[in-house]
Amino acid sequence: MTEPQNASPLLHIDGLRIDLPLDGAPRTVVHRADVTIPEGRAVALVGESGSGKSLTARCVMGLLPGSARIHGDVRFAGESVPGMNAERLRAFRAAEVAMVFQDPRAHINPARSIGDFLIEGLTTARRVPSGEAVKKVTGILREVGIPDADRRMRQRPHELSGGLLQRVMIAAALAVEPRLLLADEPTTALDVTTQEEVMAIIGEAREARGLALLFITHDLELAAAVSDRVVVMYAGSTVEELPAARLRAHAAHPYTRALLASRPSVFDEAAELRSIPGRPLSGFEAPEGCAFSDRCTHVQDVCRSERPQPSPHGDAFAACHFPYVLASEETADHA
């Protein structure tokens, strides 16, 4: 490779489209996803179920079923992920990315010991001797708040609580020293107090290692709290991207604003809660025009006929014909 490493971001998803066969016929489940993660930064991908956020994340790891058709580009450190052959893909998964899944109870083999699960990534995919692997994961278990590592490693998954199992999964992901960590709703299956602990562990690990993170969630507030930038997906398309710090004040897409309004805020306790009318659409149900047009309060004729393309405003993007723009920002931009 002749071009310098830092010329391309760590992860660059550009105009990703995914077609999957549903009931025999190919259907577009992701229409257009654009996500960029620079080395060491955290990006949250926010959306309701069916929005295509989990499919986008799986595409980054090459985990989509063989029947999926992928268009557009997914590049990791400049290298195309869909273009990798099986051998390269395996090496890529074994060393450069790792994923923390939503439900640790289902995603950790119930018939094998915790120790087996933890060292497997190192011993089978990286050919690390098992003694060395055990030493390494024992240290990481301490780091994620599991002190009695020796005992835990001998146990089976059904003997551990959900919170502990999720820590085990995080430890397993960290053990391979990836450059990018993908976390697919890692706290959804857990109770509230455990959720906070798990998020804290991910945050600390990221800081200590300079890990890049793609954090997938349906929780806008949580997304803003743990990441540098927030990407919002709706019905298979990314509709908005902006810095997390400016989410509440500067969100331009009506869907993002509606999501913010439907959630109790820690900033504004007096604000009235409003739910979004209608039901969320899946990618394959998206109509011709703007996918959100049926539920949008600002809808115009052009929204139903023409799909809006992402357009920049400041250092953010929104795919909307009539983005919400703060008066002060507009004057600032034109000044």
Q: Which residues bind another protein (CB under 8 A)?
A: 61, 63, 89-95, 98-99, 101, 103, 106-112, 120-121, 124-126, 158, 169, 172, 176
State the minimum distance, in angstroms, from the CB of residue 53 to another protein: 16
Rank residues 90 and 151 by Cβ distance to another protein and give the closer one: 90
Rank residues 126 and 263 by Cβ distance to another protein and give the closer one: 126
State the minimum distance, in angstroms, from the CB of residue 89 to another protein: 8
Rank residues 124 and 130 by Cβ distance to another protein and give the closer one: 124
State the minimum distance, in angstroms, from the CB of residue 236 to another protein: 21
Rank residues 91 and 245 by Cβ distance to another protein and give the closer one: 91
State the minimum distance, in angstroms, from the CB of residue 15 to another protein: 24
Rank residues 29 and 61 by Cβ distance to another protein and give the closer one: 61
Rank residues 122 and 224 by Cβ distance to another protein and give the closer one: 122
Comparing CA positions, the residue from 18, 14, 39 lying closest to residue 30 is 18
Q: Using CA atoms, how far apart are residues 59 and 296, in angstroms rounded to an integer?
A: 29
State CA 150 to chain mean position distance: 32
Amino acid at 1: M
Span between the terminal Cα atoms of the chain, in Å: 42
Strand residue runs (E) in 61-174: 69-76, 79-80, 97-100
- Residues 251 and 234 sit within 8 Å (Cβ to Cβ): no
State the minimum distance, in angstroms, from the CB of residue 185 to another protein: 13
Phi, psi for 229 (deg, rounded to 5): -130, 155
State the minimum distance, in angstroms, from the CB of residue 67 to another protein: 11
State the minimum distance, in angstroms, from the CB of residue 61 to another protein: 5
Rank residues 124 and 305 by Cβ distance to another protein and give the closer one: 124
191 φψ region: left (φ > 0), alpha (ψ -120 to 50), beta (else): beta
Counting other chains too, the contacts that 259-267 makes at CB distance below 8 Å and 24 or more residues apart are 259/46, 259/220, 259/232, 260/220, 263/219, 263/220, 263/221, 265/221, 266/221
State the minimum distance, in angstroms, from the CB of residue 160 to another protein: 14
Radius of gyration in angstroms for the set of CA atoms belonging to the chain, rounded to a whole number: 21
Q: Using CA atoms, how far apart are residues 176 and 47, in angstroms rounded to an integer?
A: 29
Both tokens of 22, joined, read 């549903």
State the minimum distance, in angstroms, from the CB of residue 174 to another protein: 12
Rank residues 92 and 255 by Cβ distance to another protein and give the closer one: 92
Q: DSSP string covering 215-258, please?
A: EEES-HHHHHHH-SEEEEEETTEEEEEEEGGGHHHH--SHHHHH
- Of the CA atoms within 13 Å of residue 181, those in its CB half-sphere come to 31
Rank residues 63 and 299 by Cβ distance to another protein and give the closer one: 63
84 Cβ contact partners less than 8 Å away, ≥ 6 residues apart = 62, 92
Both tokens of 5, joined, read 């490493």
